[in-house]
Amino acid sequence: MQQLSSRPTFKKKLAFTALLLFILHYFLPFFLARENRISSEISCGMTTLGLMFTLLLSLPPLFLVLYAFIKSEWLSEILLSLAGTLGLLLPFVVLATVGPNVVTELGPFARYSPTSGMYVYLIAVVVIFLMKPRMRIYDYVGLLVVLAVVVYVGSQGSYSQLGIFMEAKNFGSRLSREVLAHIRITAISLAISIVIGLPLALFSYQSQRLRKLVFPLLNILQTIPGIALFGLLIAPLAALSQAFPQLRAWGIKGIGNTPAIIALSMYALYPIIRYSFTAFMSLDEDVILAARGMGMNSHQIWSTVRFPLAMPGVLHGIRVALVQTIGNATLAKLIGGDGLGVLVFEGLGQASVDMVMLGMLLIIALTVAADRIFQVLINFFTPIPLRGKEALHD
């Protein structure tokens, strides 16, 4: 009851935060234009957009204010959905309308990019969606409409001079290779950590002596900075490849993807072992006793009771490790590896914000897609009675 009563207060705080962000965006540049990648920026604020577009961008905060004062539950829910949907759609439509007009006067290599004002505006929209206890059918319809409109506007060439798209064109087929390389590095690292981590979690559950050895080592490993761990692996792997030429022929050397995969696998061990161990420890002993009372042997109990009940917790650990590995794989570029870190660090080296943003957006897209896939898997492998308990708890 206390949790339910605190929800309206929490929503009010979120609504107030979103309104502050909407107000803040009026004082920040909405987008910027450049004659080329390395030229100086030309900031374009709300005065550049014009009165009509400023009023359009004011609709979501207006709906949010109305939401705060209207008592009707269904109407306030509709206003909140409208504020979120329009707040997601309007910035991209405004950017596609005003941006090309500004860069037309700057030359054939000119580009435009969203900047702090638009980012703050979109963060406010994210806060609006966080205010919703759950997404409804009309929310998904609204998101599909936003996607359709943005794709249609983009097909008309309105985003052809958007900095991120220009960087993607410059990379060409190399972009898809780096995306696939990022996925490959992540998948190999995660597979290695699963093969090592799940047996360690199981043996730690069964042996207190092993538990006292494994978890302190994992805690120490987590304190090592990622860049330092990547660097520490260069010297020993280089020495091994020199001593055993066959290892070099297999691609095992001091720089490249091999040290990155080893380091990423080591970092991914902690969430897999910790979550899996907790899942095994959380099993209700009464259920185990009931299984024994039914005449099940140890193998049957593990295969029929323990593993199925622990599977959601194990998958949660793998999900955390996957999301963590996708982000950490960006550092592979620092030791000569592949992946989307190439875009991020090359963009930093060339002072190209658009290239950095392209890399980061692709990493975020991979992370969100992987997270959603694992949420579906976790829900699928969770026994139906437990699904009801989790939903009630949420």
Give a three-class secondary structure readout of the chain.
CHHHHHHHHHHHHHHHHHHHHHHHHCCCCCEEEECCCCCCCEEECHHHHCHHHHHHHCHHHHHHHHHHHCCCHHHHHHHHHHHHHHHHHHHHHHHHHHHHHHHHHHCCCCEEEECHHHHHHHHHHHHHHHCCCCCCHHHHHHHHHHHHHHHHHHHCCCCCCEHHHHHHHHHCHHHHHHHHHHHHHHHHHHHHHHHHHHHHHHHHHHCHHHHHHHHHHHHHHHHCCHHHHHHHCHHHHHHHHHHCHHHHHCCCCCCCHHHHHHHHHHHHHHHHHHHHHHHHHCCCHHHHHHHHHCCCCHHHHHHHHHHHHHHHHHHHHHHHHHHHHHHHHHHHHHHCCCCCHHHHHHHHHCCCHHHHHHHHHHHHHHHHHHHHHHHHHHHHHCCHHHHHHHHHHC
pLDDT above 60 (res 392): no
| Average pLDDT of the residues in 312-334 | 90
The reported pLDDT for the residue numbered 387 is 59
pLDDT above 80 (res 314): yes
Which residues are within 8 A (CB) of 323 and not within 5 positions of it... i.e. 6 or more apart? Answer: 367, 370, 371
- Where is average pLDDT lowest: 23-27, 141-145, 300-304? 300-304
- Where is average pLDDT lowest: 1-10, 71-80, 101-110? 1-10
The reported pLDDT for the residue numbered 3 is 41
pLDDT above 70 (res 391): no
The reported pLDDT for the residue numbered 4 is 39
pLDDT band at 293 (very low <50, low <70, confident <90, very high): confident
pLDDT above 60 (res 169): yes
The reported pLDDT for the residue numbered 161 is 87
pLDDT above 50 (res 2): no
The reported pLDDT for the residue numbered 249 is 67
pTM of the model: 0.81
The reported pLDDT for the residue numbered 91 is 93
pLDDT band at 5 (very low <50, low <70, confident <90, very high): very low
Q: What is the mean pLDDT of the chain?
A: 84
| Average pLDDT of the residues in 336-363 | 87
The reported pLDDT for the residue numbered 394 is 43
pLDDT above 80 (res 173): yes
| Average pLDDT of the residues in 234-258 | 73
pLDDT above 80 (res 101): yes
Percent of the chain with pLDDT over 90: 29
Give the pLDDT confidence of 184-233 residue by residue, as tens digits: 999 999 999 999 999 999 888 888 888 888 888 888 888 887 777 777 77
| Average pLDDT of the residues in 285-296 | 77
Give the pLDDT confidence of 273-286 residue by residue, as tens digits: 999 998 888 877 77
Other CB atoms within a 10 A radius of the CB of residue 12 amount to: 12
| Average pLDDT of the residues in 161-183 | 88
